[in-house]
Amino acid sequence: MIFCPSGTTGTGSLNGGVTEFCPSPENPARYFTQIIVNGNLVIPPQKPPKSHIVKVTHQVALRDVEVLPVILPGSTTPAGFKIVVSGTLTLYIQYVADVPDQKVHVVHYELPFNGLIMRDCALNTSVFLIPPGDPILPDNFVAHVCVEKLRITQIDSRTLSKEIVLMLWVEQKQP
């Protein structure tokens, strides 16, 4: 079964003045991918250990968006295309330090991500390439990032666990 996401929401901002944007029932994602960024984050030794997390915020920046032609063996023309999206998710974690004066500190982490967009939700086939001649090609599209889930949990006074789901998607530019 193919899941074509819609109806999600998000907050934050993209560098360059573009707002983080999630698909909706009125504006579903046709070409997309979802990626998971997980693992542990360690508070650097120059920062005090934490007692508890106060607030988590984020910013997303796209670094590169590139259309890649896929040429199959024995052919000279592309069978289809993939779009590579690269960027950075910056997390800002505000926490109360585990020290006698209980000062509030902020630590930030820059988490790179990459994804391949190539699935057409409008087609119920096993084709995994953007077909030649699609109106979004070669550069008639806008790339978006949507933070669908962001959960930070405390493991100990210096270690956090991150669970992040990003949706990378493109839509045709509006005239």
Phi, psi dihedral angles at 171 (to 5 degrees): -140, 155
- Residue range of the domain that includes 122: 31-172
Q: How many domains is the chain built from?
A: 1
pTM: 0.81
Q: Extract the residue ranges of the chain whose pLDDT is less than 70.
A: 1-19, 119-127
Instruction: Report CA-CA distances (Å) from 73 to 5, 68, 76, 129.
Output: 33, 16, 8, 16
What was the pLDDT predicted at 114?
95
What per-residue confidence (pLDDT) applies to 174?
80
In this prediction, residue 121 carries a pLDDT of: 61
pLDDT in tens, 50-68: 999 999 999 998 889 999 9
State residue 120's pLDDT score.
Answer: 62
49 assigned to some structural domain: yes
CA dist 74 → 71, 78, 81 (Å): 8, 11, 17
